[in-house]
Structure 1
Amino acid sequence: MTINENLSAFNNKRIVDFEEEISSLDFVYRIRVDYDDEEQDFEALLQKFCNDPKAAEAKELIIGAWNEIDEGTESLEIVNFLTRNKDKLPKLEYLFLGDITYEECEMSWINQCDVSPLLAAFPQLKHFQVRGGNDLSLGSLHHEALETLIVETGGMNRQILNEITNAKLPKLKHLELWLGNENYGWSGTLEDLQPFLSRDHFPNLTYLGLKNSEISDEIAKALNDASILDGLEVLDLSMGTLGDEGAQALLANPKIAQLKSLNLSHHYISDEVSAKLSELPCQVDLSDQEEEDEYGRYVEVGE
């Protein structure tokens, strides 16, 4: 599966594509250009948005497809532009960099950059989301207000994992990492994920998503008696390759029953074991059951 649709809602508001002006702040505006129209100028459109007087009241912004997504340094130019124009967006709290479908650019081809200047420029951000792992860096991440961090890749470099491990995010409640597979850039190990299984790093976390992973079984087994489960409301291992081995480890883990929600959608679990999971006292999502073929199992989004 690939990402075939743009977001339709963000922060519980409907998304519209920005064209000429900000008509109402009841909407969230997405800045994007048509991927096959070379005449459109992304930065000019972004400039028009920032120059609109109502931008000073905007709390949300989505960056969609820009020119030359899979080559060049335009993502860096976008980051630099927003950083320079931070005073025109003084109330920005929700930012998504890369609402891009596969028709616009496959996720594994999206060129990103060091996005840490954005987080430094907008200290009031509560939600930061980025799609695409090529050349992505979070830098030395220290943010006092951030509550949600979502990093979507078809293959996550271990450098990103280390940057998040070393981050200082005292208010973080929602951490969602799309880990991917090694064919598209995954270079981490289970050892690199161990810090995310401890509550020492992110004591206020209520949602942990280690998604889209080719080592879902190993992650499930490593969660045995993991302190992160204490106080966690949602565990999300969806989009990956979870099979009976990992599912049995979850069933044997008494802390799993304390969750409110367990998301295992897109999985390789047998009907027999799925039936046992369905008996857990928490809400369990077992949709999108896959069958392993002669070449093995696949994460939901790689390329």
Structure 2
Amino acid sequence: MTIGVHLEEFHGLPVFDLPDAESRAELPDAAAVAWRLSSPTYRDADEESWQAVFERFLKTVDTGRVRALVVGGWEDAYDTSSAPVVTALMGANDRLTALEAVFLGDMTFEDCEISWIVQSDVTPLLAAYPALRELGVRGGTGLSFPSVRHTGLETLVVEAGGLGAEVVRGIAGSDLPALESLELWLGTDEYGGDSSPEDLAPLLSGEAFPALRSLGLCNSVIEDRVAAAVAGAPVVARLDRLDLSMGVLTDEGAGALLDGQPLTHLRELDLEHHYLSAAMRDRLTAALAPHGVRVVLDDPQTPEDDGDGDVWRYVAIAE
């Protein structure tokens, strides 16, 4: 599976693509939409660069009222990092004074495969925007997230075909006292996803992120190990929602969840895209649904047997 559509909503706002320079279309109220600023990743010479799009945005929109920005593609995103984009956004913090949310890298597979997107250190955005409430990042190549303190961030989403252990440790070790929702696509080692449950220790212990209510540890090739670690993790007791979807979850991992601490307090347990048997799906539903837990078991997968005794299971999104 790949990412085939751009974001249509972000930070509770409809996403609006900034029209091209020749358009005479009336622009919406600056605070009513999430502004998507994008340049072709395979840009022709006569097409605007991302920097030119951003400069035009700053000149034509009431930037003091903009609440959310979605950065789409930038030229040669498969070869050129997001660092110039991050620098440009930082440099406009005196104009984007109402900014609450940023998504960096809203690209489909046609723009740039998720594991080809070259990111950078995104934490300077948090320093530049102390009032930022939501940050989303797509792409794990070149991504850096050293541990940081930010008192306003409520939602952090990092989507990747493979998320490096250093990045996971940096996020888990950050001081984010307002963080309510965290979603990490851990991915596969084939695309740089070399983290382990041990890298999540500060998070799973409950010591980090005291406001956390929704936790997603998704798209992992080691989802069984993640599930086993979560089964005894103190953080789970205060969650409303647990998301272990998109990964290689088998009966072993699901059994560890059921044998671990109670999950009956959850509002939702999302296990979509899994490798669970029908019997295990029934066990999960019987154990949790009577307590009002919404158990999401959509998109069951079947392991692939290559005929030589090897069985293959895949995360939902890798390349």
**TM-score surpassing 0.5?**
yes
- Counterpart of 2:226? 219
2:28 counterpart (4, 9, 23): 23
Which residues of 2 match residues 104-183 of structure 1 at below 5 A? 104-183=111-190
Supply the AA of the counterpart residue of 1:67. Answer: E
For residues 248 and 41 of structure 1, the distance between their equivalents in structure 2, rounded to whole angstroms, comes to 51
| 2:39 is the counterpart of 1:33 | yes
- Counterpart of 1:44? 52
- Counterpart of 1:66? 74
| 2:300 is the counterpart of 1:289 | yes
Q: CA deviation at 1:10?
A: 1.2
CA separation of 1:155/1:53 partners in 2, compared to 1, >3 Å: closer, same or farther? closer
Q: CA deviation at 1:36?
A: 3.7
| 2:25 is the counterpart of 1:14 | no
Supply the AA of the counterpart residue of 1:253. Answer: G
| 2:97 is the counterpart of 1:90 | yes
For residues 289 and 171 of structure 1, the distance between their equivalents in structure 2, rounded to whole angstroms, comes to 35
2:249 counterpart (221, 235, 242): 242
**Structure 1, 220-229 or 18-27: larger mean CA deviation:** 18-27
Q: CA deviation at 1:257?
A: 1.5
Whether the 8 Å contact between 1:127 and 1:147 is mirrored in structure 2 is yes
2:253 aligned counterpart, secondary structure? helix
Q: How much identity, in percent, do the aligned residues show?
A: 40
For residues 119 and 261 of structure 2, the distance between their equivalents in structure 1, rounded to whole angstroms, comes to 40
Whether the 8 Å contact between 1:225 and 1:255 is mirrored in structure 2 is no
Q: CA deviation at 1:225?
A: 2.9
**Structure 1, 132-141 or 233-242: larger mean CA deviation:** 132-141
**Structure 1, 220-229 or 147-156: larger mean CA deviation:** 220-229
For residues 202 and 230 of structure 2, the distance between their equivalents in structure 1, rounded to whole angstroms, comes to 11
Report runs of 4+ in structure 1 exceeding 6 Å deviation.
none
Supply the AA of the counterpart residue of 2:313. Answer: R
For residues 62 and 116 of structure 1, the distance between their equivalents in structure 2, rounded to whole angstroms, comes to 16
Q: How many aligned positions are there?
A: 302
Contiguous gaps of at least 5 residues in structure 2: 306-310
Q: What is the CA deviation profile of residues 141-193 of structure 1, one whole-angstrom value per residue up to 9, with x for unaligned ones?
A: 11010011111111111110111122111111111100000000011122112
Supply the AA of the counterpart residue of 2:318. Answer: G
1:228 aligned counterpart, secondary structure? helix
Q: What is the CA deviation profile of residues 23-76 of structure 1, one whole-angstrom value per residue up to 9, with x for unaligned ones?
A: 323222100123344222111111111223511101100000111101124x11
Which residues of 2 match residues 200-279 of structure 1 at below 5 A? 200-279=207-286
| TM-score, L = length of structure 2 | 0.91
Supply the AA of the counterpart residue of 1:82. Answer: L
For residues 83 and 14 of structure 1, the distance between their equivalents in structure 2, rounded to whole angstroms, comes to 24
Q: CA deviation at 1:255?
A: 2.1
| TM-score, L = length of structure 1 | 0.96
Whether the 8 Å contact between 1:266 and 1:288 is mirrored in structure 2 is yes
Contiguous gaps of at least 5 residues in structure 1: none
